Amino acid sequence: MNIRILLAENHELMRTTIWDLLDNHPGMEVLAAVDSSHSAVSLSRQLKPNVVVLNINMPDLKGTSAISRIVCASTAPKLLALSLYPNRQYVKRVMAAGASGYLLKDSVHEEMFCAIRTVACDQIYLSTKLEMPKYLQWFNYNKTPDFIHHL
């Protein structure tokens, strides 16, 4: 069964590139690609994807607001946040808003596939480029827990 994905990215080049990568990857299907957070909120309720891949830095709606609106539905999808920022406090706010994963935009595409599969399986994913000890303090762990996956 394919992982059904809604992609929300306001930069056209990024959006079409990610769409092509995902749609040509076995086990993944892009239902739609939108250029605004408002559209992502609306279509996530209508299309009922398994995963929403959301650029959390879009101009129309604050990332944490979009996340909480998407994940509050009774049939809420898992949310993978895309960002340029490895800032610990930023990651913490995004995850607290309800994201299941945080992927930096400078990650390789294999990591994106892994992140999507991980959050689709109801597990947490943090980008491999994040400095794990800092983030594990937030989760109150001394070692990487089993539910946090990396490539």
The letter for the amino acid at 84 is: L
pTM value is 0.87
Quote the pLDDT of residue 142: 44
Secondary structure, 3-state, the chain: CCEEEEEECCCHHHHHHHHHHHHCCCCEEEEEEECCHHHHHHHHHHHCCCEEEEECCCCCCCHHHHHHHHHCCCCCCEEEEEECCCCHHHHHHHHHCCCCEEEECCCCHHHHHHHHHHHHCCCEEECCCCCHHHHHHHHCCCCCCCCEECC
Percent of the residues in the chain that have a pLDDT greater than 70, as a whole number: 85
* 88-96 vs 63-71: helix crossing angle, rounded to 10: 30
- Higher pLDDT, residue 92 or 143: 92
User: What domains are defined for the chain?
Assistant: 3-149 (3.40.50.2300)
Q: What is the mean pLDDT of residues 116-135?
A: 84
User: What span, in angstroms and rounded, lies between the C-alpha atoms of 139 and 104?
Assistant: 19
Quickly tell me which residue has 């996340």 as its tokens.
67
pLDDT digits (tens, 9 = 90+) for 33-49: 999 999 999 999 999 99
Percent of the residues in the chain that have a pLDDT greater than 90, as a whole number: 70
Quote the pLDDT of residue 141: 46
User: What span, in angstroms and rounded, lies between the C-alpha atoms of 126 and 117?
Assistant: 13
